[in-house]
Amino acid sequence: MKTLVVYDSMYGNTARVAAAIGEALGPEGDVQVVPVARATHELLAGAELLFVGSPTQRFRPLPSIAALLRGMPRGSLAHVWVVAFDTRIEVAKAHSAVLSFFVAVLGLSAYASRHIERALHRAGGGQTVCCGEGFFVEGMEGPLVAGELERAAEWARRVAAKARACAAAEVSAPCAEPPAGARRGVADPAERAGGPRRPAPN
């Protein structure tokens, strides 16, 4: 299955997750891992399975990822299985009552992966193969929590297996389960120059 992993990263953590996904799926077929600066709409539309990832900043993906997806020609991903991922920190480790409140109010929309999922489906018409996933970092800039790269690799293999099964059966696979990160009550809204300082990985 022709697979494309597109990402952007602030501190290298999301890039490491993207690389782990690519390495996990490399033996199974044609896999490319591409930073968003080199991603084109034609490249995305040419994939069979598309992963898109970003750090969560201010409860959203980086502007570069948002701009790429916002500019997708409508329906260009109609025959592409899509899935999102992000990096984040645990709310409990942020020690912020304000952050905890907004995460409780926003729910899954507190994470970049949910916004990416919606954009992939809404703008490009991509077929969501499963829920997006979040991978955890320590502190403002990382590093990734121990074991997260291994978890990313295993998650990617499960996603690819599900995409192949759904493609073979010619059925859709709507998201049915909240991502593991959401179940653990985590987020990683990030700092940005000129904006409010919030916990920020990547």
User: Considering only 31-45, 78-92, 140-154, 187-201, which range has the smallest mean pLDDT?
Assistant: 187-201
pLDDT of residue 99: 57
Task: Identify which has the larger pLDDT, 169 or 181.
Answer: 169
- What 8-state DSSP symbol labels residue 33? E
pLDDT of residue 202: 52
pLDDT of residue 169: 82
| The pLDDT of residue 122 is above 60 | yes
Section 99-123 average pLDDT: 71
Any bridge partners for residue 25, and if so which?
none
Residues 19-70 pLDDT 10s: 999 999 986 568 999 999 999 999 999 999 999 999 988 778 999 999 999 9
Question: What pTM does this model have?
Answer: 0.81
pLDDT of residue 94: 58
pLDDT of residue 177: 44
Task: Identify which has the larger pLDDT, 26 or 123.
Answer: 26
Section 94-118 average pLDDT: 65
Q: Is the dihedral of CA 131, 186, 56, 153 positive or negative?
A: negative
User: What are the structure tokens assigned to 125, written together?
Assistant: 């018409």
Could you give the percent of the chain with pLDDT greater than 70? 72
pLDDT of residue 182: 42
Q: Which CATH number fits domain 3-187: 3.40.50.360, 2.60.40.10, 3.90.120.10, 3.40.630.30?
A: 3.40.50.360
Nearest to 7 by CA among 46, 60, 59, 50: 50
179 confidence band (pLDDT: 50, 70, 90): very low
Domains of the chain by residue range: 3-187
* Alpha helices in the chain, H assignment, sequence order: 13-25, 41-45, 63-70, 91-94, 97-106, 112-122, 148-169, 180-183
